[in-house]
A and B are shown apart, each in its own frame.
Chain A
Amino acid sequence: MPKYAFYINSSACSGCKTCQVACKDKNDLPPGVSWRRVYEIEGGNWKEENGAFTSLPFGYFLSLSCQNCENPECIKACPTTAMHVNTAGIVTINEELCIGCKYCSWACPYGAPQYDTVKKVMTKCNLCEDYLAAGEKPSCVNSCPARALDFGTWEEMTARYGTGENVFPLPEPSRYKPGMIIKPHGNASRTRDNKAYIAENEYK
């Protein structure tokens, strides 16, 4: 089975959320459910020079969905085996088995599984499996006006973009082996020395 990967060029992302809207539209998602989410990371501090203070704010965006991890915590946590890797190699949910306990959403560090209050089961990004079968890319990738997103097999993406870097606030990739390659925004390096946080309350 192939391992898929999203390429996220955070330095090109303007935070317009077109990918998020395209995903909601394509998958007909109800209010409160966003399989792809654009996070705004902010931070900063003050610098004193000769008694004068200068503010040093910074910010960047991260567009994230299910990372189709190689070590998916959601599958380990799911008590019903509703969460599984399907024949196409995509981590997916069998809605017939799901009881809506939400435990997978606790275990996932990327916020991918989301509870659908209408269906009363967990739902998540399926990488637009029907588009993949037709040889197309997921709707979020196709819709991005800045071409900040790309998608393909892990081999294709790493050959094109390298293995990427880890950025705040994502966990160490070696832990879950996500299918995700990030080109960090220039500001991302500043999170090491400054207090940074997720700005929106929308996804908390």
Chain B
Amino acid sequence: MDNDYIFLVFFTVLCQSAAGFFIFREIIIYNSVAFLNDKHLRIITLLITGLLLLAGIITASFHLGKPLQAIHTLRNLKSSWLSREILLTLIFSGIVLVYFFLELFNGAGSFRIPLSVAGILSAAGLITCMSGIYMLKSVPVWNTILTPASFVITSALAAVSLMLVILPAGSVNFMDGKNSGILIFLTMALILSLVISAFFYFDGKLSYTLLFMARIVTGLMAISVPVLIYAGIIPNKMPARLFLLLLLLSTETAGRCIFYIGYHVKGL
């Protein structure tokens, strides 16, 4: 594995966060009248999705030898998962851009449902294509169900934690019976994410061991934040939620580094 895999770590985490966040936004928008009527919230959530995608695309370009020739990447849609991923990234970005400008000027109105459906499909397709890229026959450690599972979990964790930061403090109360499901979801998804990392981790070098330890420590700290909020030890306010988001992104980024380090070709 090349040393510049770090750009792919950030690309995958950022784009999966964008995809998960968009899907979660659309789920909330059709279940919460307050969210649907809050123009500011609708715009800011789309802006964040777009910025995450933009940051991901810029980061990915550093991995390429000749990024200015990237226009050619759509030539092999027939068999290359990488071509398909790039096509879906472009489609998803385009939908978010149109959706954003519609919301900004007039409100999406009757375009909301088609844009929602197309956006959710392209976001889900993007995560699927990302999984397809890594499920190579020549790399057995990646060619398992754990690859799409880890990508979906990253998307879901980033989506929920980002939304917790953006929603007005106090609007989501972990003590509330309905919202305590968020606490259970975050905890279970994080535990699953940490367990999956253990399957990718195989190298005994000190640097990798330290990375794995960092993954576990940040993951356990992230689990503890909603538990401490639930227990009433720390207040359910912005600093705690922001801290949770940072911990989740850190632990998922460390997990993705472990995923790439696990690259080991069957053969030579």
Contact = CB atoms under 8 A, between A and B. Distances in A.
Contacts of B72: 79-82, 97, 99
Q: Which of B75, B76, B79 has the most CB of A within 10 A?
A: B76
A199 B268 CA distance: 12
Contact count band on B: 20 to 34
A121 B67 CA distance: 11
A79 B67 CA distance: 13
A171 B75 contact: no
Contacts of B137: 73, 109, 175
A102 interface: yes
Interface in A44-98: 64, 73, 75-82, 97-98
Interface stretch (B58-66, B112-120, B244-252): B58-66
B83 A79 contact: yes
B267 A109 contact: yes
B138 A115 contact: no
B267 A99 contact: no
B61 to A, nearest CB: 10
Contacts, number: 103
A109 B138 contact: yes
A154 interface: no
Interface in B41-90: 63-67, 69-70, 72-76, 79-83, 86
Which label, helix, strand, loop or mixed, suits the secondary structure of the A interface? loop
B28 interface: no
Contact of B82 (A79, A108, A109, A119): A79
B138 A73 contact: yes
B254 to A, nearest CB: 22
Nearest to B4: A102
Given A79-B76, A121-B65, A109 B133 contact: no
B79 to A, nearest CB: 4
Nearest to A80: B72
A39 B268 contact: yes
Contacts of B86: 79
B38 interface: no
A82, A107, A203 interface centre (most CB from chain B within 10 Å): A107
A47 B83 CA distance: 53
B263 to A, nearest CB: 7
A99 B266 contact: no
A80 B65 contact: no
A98 B66 contact: yes
A22 interface: no
A100 interface: yes
B176 interface: no
A100 B66 contact: yes
Contacts of B73: 79-80, 99, 101
A170 interface: yes
A97 B69 contact: yes
B78 to A, nearest CB: 9
B136 interface: yes
Contact of B139 (A100, A106, A169, A198): A106
B75 A120 contact: no
Contact of B65 (A73, A115, A170): A115
Interface of A: 37, 39, 64, 73, 75-82, 97-103, 106-111, 115, 119-122, 169-171, 175, 198, 203
25 contacts: A77-B80, A77-B82, A77-B136, A78-B80, A79-B74, A79-B76, A97-B75, A98-B69, A99-B64, A99-B66, A99-B67, A99-B72, A99-B73, A100-B64, A100-B65, A101-B65, A103-B80, A103-B133, A106-B138, A106-B263, A109-B138, A109-B267, A109-B268, A110-B267, A120-B66
